[in-house]
């Protein structure tokens, strides 16, 4: 039975992903979500088809140079060869908590995660992505609360296991909460199961309490 997902990505985010304008961390979030969400995957396919149609339609009134075709072939020939599949085998995906795109990043499922404690039983694992945004996996013990915080930019959080609630709503596996500078919240994991999330941020969080502010530079949150 497919997990019912109630909180989806926006059209703007899906269109940016389709156009290739999202940075690596947010692209990982989108790829992970659409691998679980039939609705967002269908909407993304529609945006991909629209983009392909626009590329197929040449702009009116624009003349191509006579040597444009030859110049394009020359640029293609000058590119370095792609590595062979034998030289870089794709990571093996197995059924588990992590969606396929996340398994590609960590080389497997949860048994490959190197968790680091951040306090109050919460653990994190920062994923290696390009500058501009940070992606991390969060482990929140059942019933535990994250420190209350606001946002200086955008934070997207997708539930991979368990569920959490905050002042905004309740979020279960596959759901994505999109937070901006207008949202101040205290996420609390459901008591029934430990909660594991993928969280992506493009700016540091804004904590009210002193202790989280003191450790924030060391934990990169």
Dihedral, CA of residue 48, residue 46, residue 22 and residue 86, to nearest 10: -50
Whether 177 and 163 have beta carbons less than 8 Å apart is answered as no
Give the per-residue pLDDT at 185: 84
More confident residue, 151 or 79: 151
CATH class of 1-221: mainly beta
Query: With pLDDT > 70 as the criterion, what percentage of the chain qualifies?
Result: 73
More confident residue, 82 or 43: 43
Nearest residue to 35 via CA among 96, 101, 93, 103 = 101
Whether 15 and 48 have beta carbons less than 8 Å apart is answered as no
75-112 pLDDT, tens digit per residue, is: 666 655 655 555 555 556 777 899 999 999 899 999 99
Give the per-residue pLDDT at 1: 39
HSE of 52 in the Cβ direction (CA atoms, 13 Å)?
6
Q: What is the mean pLDDT of the chain?
A: 83
């Amino acid at each position: 039975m497919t997990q019912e997902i109630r909180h989806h990505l926006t059209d703007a985010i899906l269109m940016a992903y389709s156009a290739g304008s999202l940075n690596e961390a947010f692209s990982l979030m989108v790829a992970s979500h659409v691998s679980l969400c039939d609705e967002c995957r269908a909407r993304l396919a529609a945006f991909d088809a629209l983009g392909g149609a626009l590329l197929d339609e040449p702009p009116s009134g624009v003349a191509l140079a006579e040597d444009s075709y030859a110049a394009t072939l020359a640029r293609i020939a000058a590119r370095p060869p792609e590595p062979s599949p034998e030289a870089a085998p794709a990571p093996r995906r197995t059924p588990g908590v992590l969606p396929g795109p996340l398994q590609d990043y960590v080389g497997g499922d949860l048994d490959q995660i190197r968790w680091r404690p951040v306090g109050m039983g919460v653990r994190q694992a920062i994923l290696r992505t390009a500058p501009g945004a940070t992606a991390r996996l969060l482990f929140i013990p059942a019933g535990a609360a994250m420190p209350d915080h606001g946002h200086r930019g955008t934070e997207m959080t997708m539930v991979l296991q368990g569920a959490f609630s905050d002042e905004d709503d309740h979020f279960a596996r596959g759901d994505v909460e999109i937070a901006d500078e207008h949202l101040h919240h205290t996420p609390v994991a459901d008591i029934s199961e430990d909660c594991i999330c993928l969280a992506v941020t493009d700016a540091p969080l804004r904590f009210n309490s002193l202790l989280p502010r003191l450790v924030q530079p060391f934990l990169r949150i």
